[in-house]
Amino acid sequence: MLQLAKYPIVNEHPEGFPRLSVVLNSDPRLLMHRRFGKLHCRRLLHLENELTELEKELDKLDRDIGKLRDPPEHVSRPREGEKLHKLMATIHTKLIEYDKLLLKDFALRTLPQPRRRDHRSLFDYIINHKPLALGEYNHIFHVEDFVTPKSCPRDTWIDDIIRLSLQLPPLYHLRVGLAYSARRGAPSDSDSLCTEMVCIS
């Protein structure tokens, strides 16, 4: 769990969203937010339906205008021209909203998910310290919907080994720890922590 006590500035801010925003900004491992993938899809579906209907309306209007044109001049009647202008303006507005939302959604989906333990650290902080009122932190339960900046720490191959070894018998944990120590020689502080975690039975 992250030691938020080393960030005294956190407690200098009022409880609620002001304090929680400082907590999120205090450590890159806590910097995570929901991308609201389901809501993006829902709005995109509605826009797709609306644009499809507008497309059909435009096709029909084009056919109607084609029938009303005078063969020599190929000029549409003023009323039909006004309808076309208004319809194209509506389509333009809808397309801008659709394109913007579609690209934003695709961009959000390229962002990595936070590590489970980092999300758990934020989850534990919210549940234990209760910086928000009841009902204001329901977003934290949607762990699969969170994204984090690409610059945030990612799991390494040693994290994968630790995760796998913790599912194996206790004796194997010790073997992995000894093999890791022999391979790497004198470990750094972070390596020592990893080796110590591996050896826990």
Helix H, strand E, coil C: the string for 25-86 is HHCHHHCCEECCHHHHHHHHHHHHHHHHHHHHHHHHHHHHHHHHCCCCCCCCCHHHHHHHHH
Residue 45 has pLDDT above 60, yes or no: yes
Q: What is the pLDDT of residues 156-169, one digit of tens each?
A: 656 555 555 545 55
Q: What is the pLDDT of residues 116-143, one digit of tens each?
A: 989 999 999 999 888 898 899 999 999 9
pLDDT of residue 122: 92
Average pLDDT, the chain: 78
Q: State phi, psi for 173 to the nearest 5 degrees.
A: -60, -45
Residue 56 CA to residue 169 CA, distance in Å, equals 64
